Amino acid sequence: MNKYIRLAQGNGGQENNELIQKVFYKAFKNEILEKNEDAAIIHDGELAFSTDSFTVSPLFFAGADIGKLAVCGTCNDLAMMGAKPKYLTCSVVIEEGFAVSDLKSIVRSMKEELEINGAIVVGGDTKVVPKGSVDKIFINTTGIGEIIKKGISSNNITTEDLILVNRDIGCHGATIFVAREEIEMSSSLKSDCASLYPQVKALIDADIKITALRDATRGGVSAVLNEWAKQSDICIEVQELKLPISDEVRGICEILGFEPSELANEGTFVLAIKKEDATRAVEILKRFENSSKACIIAKVTHKNKQRVILNSLWGTSRFLDTPSGELLPRIC
């Protein structure tokens, strides 16, 4: 590792993994942490516990704002472990001079998203720092959820699973880039930021055989698949033609040289579902307005390989690697 922290070490990809492993995991090593899930399973498997901090810039963007993002981010991490979000804490660091009207708007967004999840804020902390000490406002949310479906884990994926996504990918990353660069577009592009618990609950209520779930935030779908390949010691083969990508996201990626599969999402999750239930899972997801493009994108082909392969529509194949470098800092 370098002597000093770089922006790339917050990207959710290779550099971020190295930082976490060599600094935090090394210091805090324990059985729960080493499972490397979206949320920690605690209290004899009855509760899920997660925390996240949000520094997105700009604070307001098409489809959401930092408040909605903060609640969705933590609640979605709990949902990915088969948990119903119940209790959150909210801590904010606010720059002196921040507009009270903007703060009220952010809190209002948080309240609306809490209601969707059926969760409440039960504690928090507020700090105001001198102008220039922080960029406007940073938010941390910590959540506890009640496990309603046990056994979901990204360490248990096998060749009996198929890999799905619930919607088109890359919308959040593309939206933040457009907003940050003040690019004028005549399109309906907006962040996919959304609470995922209703979709997860629908799958659980239908008794879908779920092996693993993971929301594809920083590092996108590529990061999730590579993490799963390592955690479950498997080879995942992705069909490039099956990846759902909107025309707007594809166009932005072609212009800027981005990979859609590496762009951040905030309402997109990847699912490992037993083969016999995969088609039914897609049908259930498609009942939700923002998941009309749910589909199967990959299969698990081998054990003991730990790699992700992208099969192109031209019949060629290449490795889909863990993202490296920093595409867009402060994406969430």
Last residue of a domain, one of 121, 147, 173: 147
pLDDT band of residue 15 (cuts 50, 70, 90) is confident
Q: Count Cα neighbours of 13 within 13 Å in the Cβ-side half-sphere.
A: 22
Tokens of 55: 């520094």
Give CA–CA dist 330/10, Å, rounded.
Answer: 9
- The pTM (predicted TM-score) of the whole model is 0.95
Who's near 235: CB < 8 A, 6+ residues apart?
229, 300, 301, 302, 303, 305, 306, 307, 308, 309
Q: Which domain holds residue 216?
A: 161-319
137 and 202 co-located in one domain = no
| Helix boundaries (H) for the chain | 14-19, 26-28, 66-79, 100-117, 171-181, 197-205, 220-232, 247-256, 275-285
Residue 42 phi, psi (nearest 5): -130, 175
For 180-199, letters b (16+ CB in 10 Å) and e give: beeeeeeeebbbbbbbbbeb
Range name among 50-54, 106-110, 293-297, 318-322 with the lowest pLDDT average: 318-322
137 and 246 co-located in one domain = no
The pLDDT of residue 246: 96
Does 328 map to a domain?
A: no
Place of tokens 């220039």: 132
What is the SS3 assignment for 70?
A: helix
Instruction: Confirm if 309 and 236 have CB atoms less than 8 A apart.
Output: yes
Element spanning 2, H or E: none
Does 154 map to a domain?
A: no
168 and 293 co-located in one domain = yes
118 and 40 co-located in one domain = yes
Instruction: Give every strand in the sheet of 83-95, ordered side by side.
Output: 40-42, 47-54, 137-147, 83-95, 120-129
The pLDDT of residue 314: 87
Give CA–CA dist 278/48, Å, rounded.
Answer: 25
User: Which of 242 and 314 is assigned the larger pLDDT?
Assistant: 242
pLDDT band of residue 204 (cuts 50, 70, 90) is very high
Last residue of a domain, one of 90, 114, 147: 147
Does 82 map to a domain?
A: yes
Last residue of a domain, one of 112, 147, 182: 147
Residue 59: closest CA among 142, 141, 135? 135
Count of domains observed in the chain = 2
User: Which of 256 and 311 is assigned the larger pLDDT?
Assistant: 311
